[in-house]
Structure 1
Amino acid sequence: MEEKNLPIFEIGPCESGYQLGFLIGQRFTKQIRSRLATDLIFQNQLLPFAQTKQSQTLLKSLSDANREKFPSYWDELVGTAEGSGVAVLDLMLLNFRKEILPFVPKTAVNLDADAEDCSDVLVVSDSMAVAAHNEDANIALLGHTYLIRATLPNGPSFTAYTYAGELPSCAFGFNNHGMAFTLNSVPPSEDEIVAGGIGRNFISRALLEATNMDDALTRIRSSAASVGHSYNLIDIKARRILNVETASRNRFSVWEVQETPFFHANMYLHLQIQEVQDENSLSRQKRAALLPKQTKADFLSLLGDTDDENYPIYMKGPTLYTLCTALLDLDDQTLSIIEGNPKEQQVTHVFAMSPRIHAD
């Protein structure tokens, strides 16, 4: 299977966002073009919608707002498109898919087409401080992911699991300031979504440069997001994990993870928001509550659970697929990536997350 050989691209120091994006696009041209050709959500929903008159105001407001808020990341997106020889519009549609799809006319075919699910189990106790994360996505993403290890001007660097054609990272990553994160989608109802705001991919790209927990929270709070999201923020030096749930109109709620293990699927747990009822997420939440959560092995076994045939925590298709599992250990200061069922603990990559001494 392609994903057993998850490519890693080490890059930098880069002089600009455009150069970073261009080199990524150049290196992963094959994966980006393949994704655009095979991603049915892109082909059947996003691209046709982008050709309609009613899409133009939305696309312009998204591009204007995000270019103004994050000019370097916008240049990165443009560079990725030009480096891979694809249209900038195509990568806009991929990066803003969560901000666009609520406004695509609904049909019986596309109602659930962009279901996207991740599961996290988190704890900070005397004996361990761990974040374990299943990266779940549409099966079309198989073979269309890679790891970016980038050094930016003036020394900052990050490692990010990246979807082909998207900004690093809509999944998980860490930097040399000792900050890391994993992400969970949440499904706010349509009247909770604000057209033309800041995209989730741009906010998580900004988190890759956060210097500490306060900085990460500020980066989230200062972005007027279109669509809600759940962020698991990890400060290695402070040995802290926060779950931050957000929604449009600058609403957010912060939950400090402590000795009671905290499981988060794809539903709001502490921010009061009208949301789409998701049976998949509810089932995973209920199942996780029943399983042991005392050790790292327990966490991995939980994330590998397939007891519920309809809505397993570990997914193998036909629509949703667990691309990999990430285990972030704050005490060992390592990020391990497991491909295959995590309960088998077949680690394929281990990265040191040790913060540099003068990070702040």
Structure 2
Amino acid sequence: MESIITGRITGLEMLEIGPCKDGYEMGFLIGQRFSRQINSRLSKDLILRNQLLPFARSPRSHTLLKSLSENNKRRYPNYWDELQGTAQGSDVPFLEVLSNLMVRAERSTAEMEVDVLQIMLLNFRKEILPFIPKAEQSSSIDTNDDCSDILVVSDSMAVAAHNEDANVALVGHTYLIKRNLPNGSSFTAYTYAGELPSCAFGFNSHGLAFTLNSVPPSKHEIDAGAIGRNFICRDLLEAQSIDDALTRIHSSEASVGHSYNLIDTKTRRILNVETASRNQLKTRV
């Protein structure tokens, strides 16, 4: 039987849910609870409105978007269902006419219903932005959403300090999700409105925590249409140990690189894992 608990922690809203019968139900409850924040972000996010959506109108985007959707749905079907549930719960169209969008590639871009892609574009922005020609990118929009961390481990202490330097579009558009899983475990994740938990930071009842930092890719390093960062990070929330998390990262087949700070709160072990596409990674202890 599902339970829903809402609250507020120093101005940040929290939703506790679960166990849920499936990923779609989890996503639907999140979308329903945070519909206002999600729709507000969609209307105000300048990167989405001025870069991602215009690119999605262009026929040259269709192969990339189709590959991203098919590959991530195949690799992580339950998380894909979560994303669809979030869109449905918040009354935001998702991908129900993506195939029609591809078929209509020859039609005028003004006639194309690109709103169906909004949630997907948010979740794949890191995998899409490198393919937008620089001439079409607005210099007035700050796309630098890098974060930074300080990691310290000694005989007397272990500290992980994270600075959340996200884009200004996320101000007022974040929340905490705590999910209780059917197997008795749980996770808590700081979540960007409309996105999977969590491409920022989170922790679970197995004692695993993580924070994330951006690794801007060179275009030749990108594996176009492969697995998205948001899906990999969502998978880390269910890792049962730091070694399990390493395995999930290593086998993820990521499209673009990222930096993962993995923290074992039980053994005071901290690892930094920097990745690139095609399963390349470097681990620092």
> Which of the five TM-score ranges fits, normalised by the shorter chain?
0.7 to 0.9
Q: TM-score, normalised by structure 1?
A: 0.69
SS of alignment partner, residue 135 of structure 2: coil
2:32 aligned to which of 21, 26, 32: 26
SS of alignment partner, residue 137 of structure 1: coil
2:198 aligned to which of 148, 153, 169: 169
User: What's the offset of the Cα at 1:154?
Assistant: 1.8
Matches within 5 A, 1:222-301: 222-256=251-285
User: What's the offset of the Cα at 1:113?
Assistant: 3.4
> Distance between the aligned counterparts of 1:91 and 1:164, measured in 2?
10
| Residues 125-156 of structure 1: per-residue CA shift (max 9 Å, x gap) | 11111100001111111000000011122222
Matches within 5 A, 1:321-332: none
Displacement over 6 Å in runs of 4+:
none
- The answer as to 2:219 corresponding to 1:190 is yes
2:51–2:137: 8 Å Cα contact kept in structure 1? no
User: What's the offset of the Cα at 1:199?
Assistant: 0.4
> Distance between the aligned counterparts of 2:62 and 2:29, measured in 1?
29
- The answer as to 2:127 corresponding to 1:99 is yes
| Residues 214-241 of structure 1: per-residue CA shift (max 9 Å, x gap) | 1000100111111110000011122200
| Aligned residue in 1 for 2:93 | 87
Matches within 5 A, 1:98-247: 98-107=126-135, 109-110=137-138, 113-247=142-276
Gaps of 5+ in 2: 1-7, 95-116
SS of alignment partner, residue 126 of structure 2: helix
| Aligned residue in 1 for 2:114 | none
> Distance between the aligned counterparts of 1:189 and 1:229, measured in 2?
12
Q: Which amino acid aligns with 1:91?
A: I
> Distance between the aligned counterparts of 1:217 and 1:159, measured in 2?
19
Paired residues in the alignment total: 255
1:3–1:142: 8 Å Cα contact kept in structure 2? no
> Distance between the aligned counterparts of 2:156 and 2:90, measured in 1?
46
| Residues 162-206 of structure 1: per-residue CA shift (max 9 Å, x gap) | 000000000000001110000000112111111001000000000
SS of alignment partner, residue 232 of structure 2: helix
1:94–1:165: 8 Å Cα contact kept in structure 2? yes
Instruction: State the Cα RMSD in Å.
Output: 1.4
| Aligned residue in 2 for 1:318 | none
> Distance between the aligned counterparts of 1:175 and 1:105, measured in 2?
39
Distance 1:40 1:3, change over 3 A: farther
Q: Which amino acid aligns with 2:261?
A: N
1:15–1:152: 8 Å Cα contact kept in structure 2? no
Q: Which range moves more in the overlay, 87-96 or 28-37?
A: 87-96
1:227–1:248: 8 Å Cα contact kept in structure 2? yes
SS of alignment partner, residue 85 of structure 2: helix
| Aligned residue in 1 for 2:83 | 77
2:258–2:276: 8 Å Cα contact kept in structure 1? yes
| Aligned residue in 2 for 1:297 | none
Gaps of 5+ in 1: 257-360
Matches within 5 A, 1:61-76: 61-76=67-82
| Residues 246-294 of structure 1: per-residue CA shift (max 9 Å, x gap) | 00111000000xxxxxxxxxxxxxxxxxxxxxxxxxxxxxxxxxxxxxx
> Distance between the aligned counterparts of 2:168 and 2:69, measured in 1?
28
